A and B are shown apart, each in its own frame.
Chain A
Amino acid sequence: QKEVEQNSGPLSVPEGAIASLNCTYSDRGSQSFFWYRQYSGKSPELIMSIYSNGDKEDGRFTAQLNKASQYVSLLIRDSQPSDSATYLCAVRLNDYKLSFGAGTTVTVRA
């Protein structure tokens, strides 16, 4: 079983729609969860971090965490063409090491 798994893509959504990204993790002791955005050929850019159960909103982005289900998600509201990228879910396995999912590629259709 992979440490971090993301829903397979690619995900194509029309402009203005909601893009929903899912991630599950295997280590029940994980405490910290991150979503990074990576444009093609570029480096990962942190867009959200979440540490406790529930929702966390930042602009058009909402992260949701459910530790009992070992599940973390990212919603992108009012999707824009500039949101087209690969989204990486990362889980901190111990106090420093990040384990990444393979990523979900999102394409927003104008």
Chain B
Amino acid sequence: NAGVMQNPRHLVRRRGQEARLRCSPMKGHSHVYWYRQLPEEGLKFMVYLQKENIIDESGMPKERFSAEFPKEGPSILRIQQVVRGDSAAYFCASSSMGETSTDTQYFGPGTRLTVL
């Protein structure tokens, strides 16, 4: 029973490059959430997606960041023109029911982005 999968696990980029983070939800889950964890800080919600739809992107910076969850394939979090402040662990979570009070989000192993 594969859990949430993320790749790459570690990503190093130079300032100005693009970073693409991938997330495959747990089998049977159609709801995907992205969170960011800065060093010594808690997790912060970024975006919530269902297949082909962005439901809530209120936690995502307006510029340089985008997310998608296509009909086929993994969810992608894309960061354009990375800056040092983007260095963080990016976690993807998935759930089966989405907007219900008892829904549980399960987290992937994360992608640790380092911007040089």
Contact = CB atoms under 8 A, between A and B. Distances in A.
Contact of B105 (A4, A31, A51, A98): A98
A96 B109 contact: no
A102 interface: yes
Interface residues of B, number: 27
A58 interface: no
B116 interface: no
B53 interface: no
Interface stretch (A13-21, A42-50, A68-76): A42-50
A45 B106 CA distance: 7
A3 B26 CA distance: 28
Interface residues of A, number: 23
Nearest to A34: B104
Contacts of A44: 43, 91, 107
Contact of A31 (B35, B101, B106, B108): B101
Contacts of A103: 42
A77 interface: no
Given A45-B107, A51-B101, A96 B31 contact: yes
Given A43-B107, A44-B91, A102 B101 contact: no
Interface of A: 4, 31-32, 34, 36, 42-46, 49, 51, 88, 92, 95-103
Given A97-B45, A98-B35, 12 more contacts: A44-B91, A46-B106, A46-B107, A49-B104, A51-B101, A95-B103, A96-B31, A96-B33, A96-B56, A98-B43, A98-B45, A99-B45
